[in-house]
Structure 1
């Protein structure tokens, strides 16, 4: 009997967060010296666990280059040598953090889960946060601490009431083909959007009092799953409504057109304003610290 067969395999669900600015997305990049994903660093850290079988992370929610995560999730299997008990979830999380070689990645929490648990398929809810800033007439007017963490708009204000009205047309179960970018592996473009909200941010602590012309806004979207770049395309359309380029009723027309190449829906909001806020699994409690984290370190 080989060493792998004599050892016990333990499966874990791990929550982790990252600033996506320096990564080519969350997924591992194989065979490239220049592009690298968050998963590359996680799996490099996991090598130090001395698992009998190499540890692979199965990511819950793929994010593009430049997109951030307050809390993403993945499952992984660890097989210790024969006679060694499985790591406790706390020890596993501490060990991964100790061996992570990039300061923009942090493991939040780990759970022991059944051997057939799947981080992507078992997720019951995903929430994305998109951050906007208005009143930024030139790029150098945005705080260096906010760059790559929001979409800075030149406009001095947004018609938030119109954006909220437009967002209501997106709620419910629809064919979201009009908001899907090419390259999606999804077999169906039907999704159920449970929540779409537009609200003012209380204010960034990184903005000085004399920069009070700047106003921050949060858009949040919740669904069990999303299509490729769906959130960024919906955001771009809602911003167009807020700027007066579209009427709220036109969002319903765009949705019902199922046409991703229409004149108003081809724009994609920049990646750097998008955060995966949370991934939830039914009765399994998400990482408590992840829910309290935000781009500014406070609950939203």
Structure 2
């Protein structure tokens, strides 16, 4: 049995999330989740073991990933290793044939003790904003169903229109969230986990938060028009782990401050008085479709296979198979 780290990216629009639905005794294939699509593709490698996919970072329905990771144990019928390139190629071929928006970035043989989730040093998310410029906000065509929106950005960016949106306020309030805090106020309770009535551990450390000018993802034909109407902003958040919907709730609170619906003091109290009762109702959870998991980082030492686990080919033929 050998363990593989599989790095992947996907567009989350058509998926219910990365994780399969946990139905008792269910063995039904689930192509509507990223995990389910991976499972179907991995079965085409014909491993002889009943494998279980272990996910580094769970993403909700609609959330995208430029880089996520899973690990899985696979055993071939002849006892030889699967070539890392073969796994990457075969999975991508399977996703292509099913027209699924999933792409394997790389596959790597890792130690049998490696965990894609537990060994992750950090996870970086970006939330993309498209802000209508103030001079257009008071016009009749500023309404969401009247104003111009680039079709290429549909379900890729959160577009907002507010005449007094203040990006400097957003930057300022976001900065106080860096560091080690109790983020209980910003945690949602998962409907799929009824036992999770009261979180037992809500302390998390955010390593960095930056708010930078973003760019539109449109064709050149549309770009001038898009940049005429909108300013783009990328909110980048890096930490080792996050609570359920924590990023989207934090960003929602920061936008509420930038639009003047709540004050910076309100946001500060939401952070420093951790409780579900501290959540300001004038804030809102921002949509999933503008959130991207951009990077999962690992220590190279954790990916290095110890000498006693290195494959020992028994023939020249096997050597050519196991060497990548």
TM-score, structure 2 normalization: 0.79
**C-alpha displacement of 1:159:** 1.4
Distance change (3 Å), C-alpha of 1:12 and 1:156: farther
Q: What residue is the counterpart of 1:120 in the other structure? A: 117
Q: Aligned partners of 2:69 and 2:145: how far apart in 1?
A: 33
**C-alpha displacement of 1:157:** 6.4
Distance change (3 Å), C-alpha of 1:213 and 1:124: same
Q: What residue is the counterpart of 1:236 in the other structure? A: 252
**C-alpha displacement of 1:262:** 3.2
- Taking the TM superposition and a 5 Å limit, the aligned residue runs for 1:144-155 are 144-155=151-162
**C-alpha displacement of 1:285:** 10
Q: What residue is the counterpart of 1:214 in the other structure? A: 230
211-220 or 226-235, larger mean C-alpha shift: 211-220
Q: What residue is the counterpart of 2:10 in the other structure? A: 18
- Structure with higher Rg: it is 2
Match of 2:288 among 271, 286, 296: 271
Q: Aligned partners of 2:130 and 2:246: how far apart in 1?
A: 21
Q: Which structure 2 segments of 5+ residues have no match?
A: 133-141, 304-324
RMSD: 2.3
Q: What residue is the counterpart of 2:315 in the other structure? A: none
Q: Aligned partners of 1:187 and 1:110: how far apart in 2?
A: 35
Q: Aligned partners of 1:92 and 1:210: how far apart in 2?
A: 43
**C-alpha displacement of 1:284:** 6.2
- Taking the TM superposition and a 5 Å limit, the aligned residue runs for 1:63-212 are 63-82=59-78, 84-100=79-95, 101-135=98-132, 137-139=143-145, 141-155=148-162, 158-183=165-190, 187-206=200-219, 207-211=222-226, 212=228
Deviations 1:77-132 (A, max 9, x none): 110013x4201222211111112224311111111111111111111100111111
Helix, strand or coil at the partner of 2:261: coil
Q: What residue is the counterpart of 2:319 in the other structure? A: none
Indicate yes or no: 2:242 matched with 1:247: no
Q: Aligned partners of 2:271 and 2:102: how far apart in 1?
A: 36
Distance change (3 Å), C-alpha of 1:139 and 1:89: farther
Q: Which structure 1 segments of 5+ residues have no match?
A: 1-8, 287-300
**C-alpha displacement of 1:257:** 1.4
201-210 or 173-182, larger mean C-alpha shift: 201-210
**C-alpha displacement of 1:247:** 2.8
Q: Aligned partners of 2:164 and 2:233: how far apart in 1?
A: 10
